[in-house]
Each structure stands twice: as C-alpha cells, then as structure tokens.
Amino acid sequence: MNGIIILWTQDNLWTYFVDGLEPLFWLKAYPSTNRSVCGQSPRPPVSHILGYARVSTDDQDLASQRARLESVGAFRVFADVISGKTFDRPGLADLLDHIRPGDTLAVVRLDRLGRSLRELLEVVETLKKRGIALLSLEEKIDTSSAAGELVFHVFGAIAQFERRLIAERTRDGMNAARAKGSKPGRPALDHDKLNAALLLVKNGLTPTQAAKQTGLGRSTVYREIQGRSKA
C-alpha cells in the first residue's frame, strides 16, 4: 500500500509518495536557523550598539560613561581623552572604522561627539550617509526609530543653515574689505624676501630658520624649494 509523507517547514511544503507505507501521517519540521536550500532568504545581519565616551583631561573618569553605555547594550566602548588645544579623536576614528550600516552609535550626551555645533553636525552627517543610527542617552534621541529619524533631518537642516551663514559672513567680510580699499585674500608674495630666504638656505640654514629670519611662512619656503628642484 502506498503512503504519503508530507514535510512542512516554515516556508516550503514537500510531498513524497512512498511504496509499502501503511499509515498516512504528517512530519512537521520546526523552523531552522540555517539557510533554506529551497530559496529561503538569508537572515538579516545582526546590528550592534557601539559606544563612544570622551573626557577632557586625565583627571576625569571614563568609567561612569562606560557603565551607562554598557547598560543600554553597547558591546564595545571606544574612548578618547582630549586635553589642550588639539582635538584629535583616534578613538572616534577607530569606532567609525569598525561600525557598519545598521549599527548604532551610542553616547551619553551629544557634546561627546564634538565641542562645537559644526563638529557635531559633521559627525551626524557622516552617520546618516553610512546608514548608522545615533543614540544619545541624556537627550533621549534614538534615530533608529521612526520618530527619531526626524532628528537626522533636523540636523541636516541645521548644517545647511550653518553653511549658508558662513558663506554670507565670508561675502560680507570681503565686501567690507573692498569698501575700505583693501584686497581680500592671501597677500602677494614678497619676492625679495623669498630670494633672501633661498639664499640663506643655500648658505646652510634650514628652511625653518630662513623663513623665521625673513618673516615668511615655513610652508612657503619649502614649497618654493621643492618647486625649483623639480624645474
């Protein structure tokens, strides 16, 4: 007597006719996490939360920021200690190198991403272009949600507004300088000073020393030396 085996998975149904099988029964296979061999779409990649913490001096403690970021699910926290006038952020650069589209960058406060509005907007624009969500705990911003996505649009509008203000200030400054009789832009190069600097270099001074003695910029002297060596 013929029998029938019906195999049911999450998205597919197979029927087999088997000789010599008395009963008719169902065999149910529960969904598997493995990829189906019959065209089932692969599971989407798992997104992660990466945290970023920053303090201004060595005296400040990163532990409290780390704890808060880990409490919201950050599996790794990148950090920077920035002091003085420089604002190099190797920790943030490393985070942006590791983070992937669909992931979330978490901070305790928005000011951890930049010391000015311009720096903050640059980071936010980078995140938006790469498809990375932003989570700020103090401001309760989560751009991975439908409502939070509006924040990216607001930041984009602010960035565009900031660029227009800078352009207008630049034009106004140039017009004011022309009205006073001055020519805006880089001042003309003093060739007498430049020749004197090149002569000092030829007589054994370093380009830096020659630039300092003649009142020229060091980069100007180096650029002129390289240009003449190639000629």
In the chain, domain spans? 1-31, 49-160, 191-230
Query: What does the pLDDT look like over 44-56, one tens digit per residue?
Result: 567 899 999 998 8
- Poorest-pLDDT segment among 63-72, 88-97, 173-182: 173-182
- Poorest-pLDDT segment among 19-28, 181-190, 207-216: 19-28
- Poorest-pLDDT segment among 1-10, 67-76, 126-135: 1-10
For residue 103, the model assigns a pLDDT of 94
For residue 45, the model assigns a pLDDT of 63
Number of Cβ within 10 Å of residue 99's Cβ equals: 20
Task: Give the chain's mean pLDDT.
Answer: 76
Q: φ and ψ at 101, to 5 degrees?
A: -55, 135
Write down the CATH number for the domain with range 49-160.
3.40.50.1390
- Residues 75-80: contacts with CB within 8 Å, 24+ apart? 75/48, 75/49, 75/50, 76/48, 76/50, 76/51, 77/50, 77/51, 77/52, 77/53, 78/50, 78/51, 78/52, 78/53, 79/52, 79/53, 79/54, 79/55, 80/52, 80/53, 80/54, 80/55
When pLDDT is cut at 50, 70 and 90, the band that residue 26 belongs to is very low
Of 220, 231, 218, 226, residue with least CA distance to 189: 220
CA distance 220 to 228: 12
Q: How much is the CA Rg of the chain, to the nearest whole Å?
A: 32
Query: What does the pLDDT look like over 123-143, one tens digit per residue?
Result: 888 998 999 999 999 988 888
Q: What is the DSSP letter of 131?
A: T
Residue 77 has pLDDT above 90, yes or no: yes
Residue 24 has pLDDT above 50, yes or no: no
Residue 200 has pLDDT above 70, yes or no: yes
User: For a pLDDT cut of 70, what percent of the chain falls above it?
Assistant: 73
Query: What does the pLDDT look like over 85-123, one tens digit per residue?
Result: 566 788 999 999 999 999 999 999 888 888 778 888 888
Contact 2, 17 (CB under 8 A): yes
For residue 187, the model assigns a pLDDT of 67
- Active-site residue set: 56
For residue 22, the model assigns a pLDDT of 47
**How far apart, in Å, are the Cα atoms of 199 and each of 156, 204, 215, 225, 231?**
52, 9, 14, 11, 17
Cross-strand pairs, 81 = 55
Q: Which fold has domain 191-230?
A: Arc Repressor Mutant, subunit A (1.10.10)
How much is the pTM?
A: 0.53
